[in-house]
Every structure is written in C-alpha cells, then in structure tokens.
Structure 1
Amino acid sequence: MRDADLRAALHQKVLRDHHGQADTLVLDELGLWYGTARVDIAVVNGRLHGYEIKSDRDTLERLPAQAQVYNNVLDRVTLVVGETHLEKAIKIVPPWWGVKVAFAGPRKAIHFREERAPGTNPAIDPVAVAALLWCDELIELLASLGAARGLRGKSRDRLTRALADLLPQDELRAVVRMRLKERSNWRVASART
C-alpha cells in the first residue's frame, strides 16, 4: 500500500460523510506552524482534526517531530498506519491520538480498523493555532478588534502573537476554524466541501 492509496481510501471510506457537510472543509496537506509541518488531511468543522498517514512504505523517522507540531495545533489527531508500523507508532504518539490500522482485504481493497479512538488534545498552544492564519487575515481580525494600530507591516509571527494574546483560547480557535473554512484561495490543491 502506498501513501496515495491510503489517502484515497481515507477520503472514500472514513471521511466520506464529511465531504457532504456544508459546514466542513476537508483539506489535503494543511501547513502548520508556518509550514514547518504538514498534516496529510485536515477536517475543519467544529474542531480541527488531523489525519497523518504512515503507509508500510514510509518510515517513522519524522513522526516524533511532526507530533510535536500537531500537538500544539490540532484538536484531535488520528494516525493511520500500515500494520507493520502499528507497534512502534503507538509508542511514539500521545495516548489521546487515535490510531487506525490500514490493511488490504482479500481483493486488495484497503480497509481500516480502529485501534484507538481519538481523544481531545489537552494542551493546545493558542499562538500555534493563530499561526494558521495568513498576514492579511491576521490584520483584518486585529483591526476588527481595534488592535491593529502599530502592527501593520509587522512580521507574521508578531501579528500571530498579538491575536493569540487578545482572544480567549476557545474564541480564537473558533475564529481560526471559521477563517479556514471561508478561505477560497488555498495555495495547495484541496478537497473543499
């Protein structure tokens, strides 16, 4: 099984219902923390749920670093692994991550078995959440809060931190999810619903 095969099967079998929901965005390759990591699939609705794929052909070398970034941003994470990686992968990711095992059926179709259901992230970093927004979105939000004065032309990191300082975490997370769903000019190919 290749990564692309697992991704297609996830969209068709696991995320099928999300594709039909008007208030949901399903996006391939969502960049996190200024693009230092990308989660394979993100589902944005009342929460931000990331799916990270590690097929049998992949290695788990990058998973610890990816997990650090994902743990700061995502409300939920599900790791989708081939059977050969299951034992080692479960030891790498936090216990609140969900784990699905991908396996080939008798006719070579890909199926998924839930090894562990995803829980809720206990420690989201508001700055990392705000970093999902682009500069123009940050300025627009800061201006709507009457807090853009002196910040126009500042770095994206400075704008991100200013917004994270202004809004309570739950409100910030809701605003960021709303902005992601409203975006029409994604820079990467996406499956938008």
Structure 2
Amino acid sequence: MKTRDIDIRSQLHINLKQEHLNHFDTLIIDELGLCQGDARVDVAVVNGSIHGYEIKSDSDTLERLPGQIDVYNKVLDSVTIVTGKCHSEGILKLVPEWWGIEIAEKTNDNEIEFSLLRKESPNPQIDPYSLVQLLWKDEALDLLRRFELEKGYVSKPRNKIWEKLVESFSLEDLKYYVREQLKLRKNWRAD
C-alpha cells in the first residue's frame, strides 16, 4: 500500500512528541523555511541542535531533492529523510552519507511504521551565513546589541547585519544563538 505525506507526517509528529516528551526546551516546527525560502524542511526539531526531517512518500517524486539537499546541508545540524519503500534505492544514491534514512511503510491495519535504514550523523559543512538567515532582522540586531556590536548597523539591511554576525561570532556560538532565538519566539508556527 502506498504511503502519503500526510500519513507519514502525522506518525512522525507522534513519534517525535513521544521521543521529546520530557524535553521542555524542544520545539517541533512544520515547514521551516531555510536560506530565505530557497527550501522548506518538512519538520524541524530544535533543541540542542536543529534536526530536519524531509518526507518523501511513495506518492512523491525525488525531482526536488537535489536542490533541497544543497539547502539543508548549509543550515541543519542533522537530517533524516523519511521515505516510502519505493524510493529507498534512489535516496541512497542521492543523499549524503551523514543523512539518516527511515523507511515508512503502511501496515495491514493502515498504520505507518518506520524502520531505520541509516542513522544520521552531524553535518560536517554548515554555512554560518545561511544559518543566521533563520534570524529575523530585529533578532539579529538584538544579538549585536547584547554584545555592543550594533554601532553602524541599526539602520543597515538585514544581509549586512547577518554578515556582521558571521564576522563576530564562531559557528558554535551562532548555532547556539539561532537555536535559542527560535525557541524564544512567541505565537509562531510550532507544536
């Protein structure tokens, strides 16, 4: 039986909520836009890292996946692709070795079960500039203000503010600040 995005997404949310039940600082976000909207990861889990989940059901194609891979590799700490069985061979050829792969299959009673094909590893190639694009302009300015680095940047466009952040902080610090800011947002599109 063919899997559909909505069925996989629903079960993925159930699994992720269960997995992070006692982690109060975990944020689960659907359709997180990356690199100013170049791509959207289906589900992002933000806590001590940003773990993206891309869904490719049996009903989907892999046509957009190469472009998604390029964008996800710039921003996400780790990525897992959750796919219908029909795409498993194609996905193995396309995704980097550090991406996790889970196979989603429908059971006889119409439930979705996941089986791990490959565990994810840390992303070896995060791009700091792409990462800070997750910050809204006021959030990026607030970060500069916290460290008294805002002089000359208050009225600058956001791309200049992002450049200043990349010049001023290590990648590890930027990863921490971006995660913390995402978790602080109020009335945002998160579970």
Q: 1:80 matched to which residue of 2?
A: 82
Q: 1:115 matched to which residue of 2?
A: 117
- The Cα of 1:15 is off from its aligned counterpart by 4.2
Q: Structure 2 CA distance, aligned partners of 1:77 and 1:14?
A: 14
Q: Structure 2 CA distance, aligned partners of 1:51 and 1:16?
A: 16
Where structure 1 has 5 or more consecutive residues not aligned to the other structure, the ranges are none
CA contact (8 A) 1:71 1:121 kept: yes
Structure 1 runs, 4 residues or longer, greater than 3 Å off: none
Change (3 A) 1:66 1:79: same
Where structure 2 has 5 or more consecutive residues not aligned to the other structure, the ranges are none
**Which residue of 13, 31, 34 maps to 2:33?**
31
TM-score, scaled to structure 2: 0.95
Identity of aligned residues (%): 46
- The Cα of 1:20 is off from its aligned counterpart by 4.4
TM-score, scaled to structure 1: 0.94
CA contact (8 A) 1:98 1:116 kept: yes
Q: Structure 1 CA distance, aligned partners of 2:190 and 2:35?
A: 19
Deviations 1:146-193 (A, max 9, x none): 11111122222211111111111111101110000011132xx321xx
- The Cα of 1:6 is off from its aligned counterpart by 0.6
CA contact (8 A) 2:27 2:190 kept: no
**3-state SS of 1:52 partner:** strand
Count of aligned residue pairs for this structure pair: 189
Alignment of 1:136-155 (within 5 A): 136-155=138-157
Q: Structure 1 CA distance, aligned partners of 2:28 and 2:21?
A: 7
